[in-house]
Amino acid sequence: MQALLHAIVEPGFFADGAVQIAATLGGVVAVVAGLIGVFTVIRSQAFAGHALSDIGSAGGSSAYLAGVAPLWGFVGISVLAAAAMEQIGVQRARGRDVATGIVLGVGFALASLFLYLGMTYHNSSGEIPTILFGSVFTLSAANLPLVIGLGAVALLTTLTLYRPLLLASVSPELAAARGVHVRVVGAAYLFALAITVALCDLTIGAILSTALLVGPAAAALRLTDRPHRAALLAAGISLACTWLGLLLAWDSFYWPPLRHGWPVSFFIVTLVLAAYLAAGALARGQTKRG
């Protein structure tokens, strides 16, 4: 039994400082992303969320170039991009799609330029994989208060807007008839989304940012038909995937082929996808029985 436990949880996992920080930061971010993600999925804004995270990488790289702390680059550019999307036209579903695409294209164009300039003048190509793929294990504890603070801002915004946002997500017209300022609520939510995504970008990378925003929420929405339960369930799934992913990544230090560890993002993404598929199977089983 002891041996089996040791095989699953390599000794030292819980004692390691880097792991503790990673588990705390990753945990906070996972919970925030899971909760906020429910509205992202309900409002069909998965593309916007993903685009914001990709554009964040442009912010990260430009911040790096300018010598500012990457977090502010991430947050600043994400909020800016969210504003641009809101401006170009988020009202119509199809217009939103193209608006998001165009803004994302500009973001990428800038990212490519900044990375190029960074490589040419700073000779710093090592940053690219970190910016694109993130790495929880390289974070320092100094980031913790800031990450928790920004996460709290995003959560509070969404929680404050909970009822009008839900109503506006069901039907903008119904919400407007009740005196809800649908555009203001939408913009405020996009702002919270931008902050969340920037946080995710910095701590766990652009890939995981989308994965944790969309996957757990979509899985939860298949399992429950109550909005607040979906939010809590999504946070739970997101947290479980993140911690399990960290554990597996830690274990993988002894795995072939290179024995220097598999990337965390691979594990978390795979777990998220598995959770989504399992939720689908479970929901189908329920409807067949019920």
Partner 1 sequence: MFSGFMVNAWIVASLAAVVGGAVGFFVVMRGASFVAHAIPNGSFAGAAGAALVGASTLAGLGVFSVGGALGIGLLGRRSRRDVATALTLVFMLGLGALFLSFSAENSEAAYSLLFGEVLGISSNEIGPTLVLSALGLLMLGLLWRPLLLDSVLPGRAPGRRTLAIELAFLLLVAITTTMTVPVVGTTLIFTLMIAPAASARALTARPGLALLLSAAIALMTVWGAIALSYTTNWPVGFFVGSLGACAYALSRVAHWSSGG
Partner 2 sequence: MELAQPPTAPLSDGGAATTDRVLQLAGVTVDLGGRRILDDVSFSLRAGELTGLIGSNGAGKTTLLRVILGLLAPTRGAVTVAGPDPRHSVGYVPQKFMLDPDLPVRARDLVALGIDGHHLGVARPSRERRERVTRMLDAVGAGRFADTRVGRLSGGEQQRVLIAHALISHPRLLLLDEPLANLDLRSAREAVDLLARIAREQRIAVMISAHEMNALLPVMDRVVYLAEGRAACGPADEVVRADVLSRLYGHRVEVIRAGERVLVVAGEGDDAEPSHPHHHDSEER
Question: Which one of 53-61, 107-115, 219-227, 268-276 is the stretch in contact with partner 2 (CB under 8 A)?
Answer: 219-227
CA distances from 12 to 1, 8, 217, 252, 279 (A): 18, 12, 32, 13, 33
> At a CB cut-off of 8 Å and minimum separation 6, what does 210 contact?
46, 49, 50, 53
String marking each residue 16-55 x if it binds partner 2 according to CB under 8 A = ----------------------x---x-------------
226: buried, middle or exposed (CB in 10 Å: 19+, 13-18, 0-12)? exposed
Interacting positions 138-177 with partner 1 (CB under 8 A): none
* Using rule CB under 8 A, residue 135 touches partner 2: no
Residues 6 or more apart whose CB falls under 8 angstroms from that of 191 comprise 79, 82, 157
> Could you tell me which of 243, 29, 249, 22 has the C-alpha nearest to residue 141?
22
Q: How many chain residues are in contact with partner 1, going by CB under 8 A?
A: 57
Residues 36, 53, 186, 222: which binds partner 2 (CB under 8 A)?
Answer: 222
Please select the residue that binds partner 2; options are 5, 17, 126, 226, rule is CB under 8 A: 226
Angle of helix 182-223 relative to helix 144-160, nearest 10 degrees?
Answer: 100
Q: According to CB under 8 A, which one of 174, 184, 274, 277 is a site residue for partner 2?
A: 174
Distance of alpha carbon 219 from alpha carbon 223, whole angstroms: 7
Instruction: Give the separation between CA 55 and CA 107, rounded to whole angstroms.
Output: 5
- The reply on whether position 276 binds partner 1 by CB under 8 A is yes
Cis peptide before 257, with omega less than 30 degrees from 0?
A: yes
From 22, 87, 54, select the one nearest 197 (Cα to Cα).
54
Does residue number 152 form part of the binding site for partner 2 (CB under 8 A)? Answer: no
Find out whether 193 and 33 touch, Cβ atoms under 8 Å.
no
Closest to partner 2 by CB, 167 vs 208, is 167
The residue range among 109-117, 175-183, 223-231, 233-241 that interacts with partner 1, by the rule CB under 8 A, is 109-117
Which tokens in the block code for residue 70?
Answer: 């990457």
Q: Which of 110, 176, 240, 278 binds partner 2 (CB under 8 A)?
A: 176
In 3D, which of 147, 180, 174, 193 has the Cα closest to residue 35?
193
Position among 109, 141, 152, 174 found at the interface with partner 1 (CB under 8 A): 109
Which one, 94 or 259, has the nearer CB to partner 2?
94
With binding defined as CB under 8 A, does residue 189 bind partner 1? no
Residue 258 interacts with partner 1 (CB under 8 A): yes or no: yes
Among 45, 57, 169, 210, binds partner 2 (CB under 8 A): 169
Task: Identify what 230 binds: partner 2, partner 1, none; CB under 5 to 8 Å per kind.
Answer: partner 2
91 binds partner 1 (CB under 8 A): no
Of all helices (H) and strands (E), which one includes residue 271?
Answer: helix 264-289
Task: Give me the residues that bind partner 1 (CB under 8 A), please.
Answer: 41, 44-47, 49-51, 54, 93-94, 97-98, 100-102, 104-106, 108-113, 115-116, 119, 125-126, 128-129, 132-133, 207-208, 210-211, 214-215, 218, 222, 257-258, 260-263, 265-266, 268-270, 272-273, 276, 280
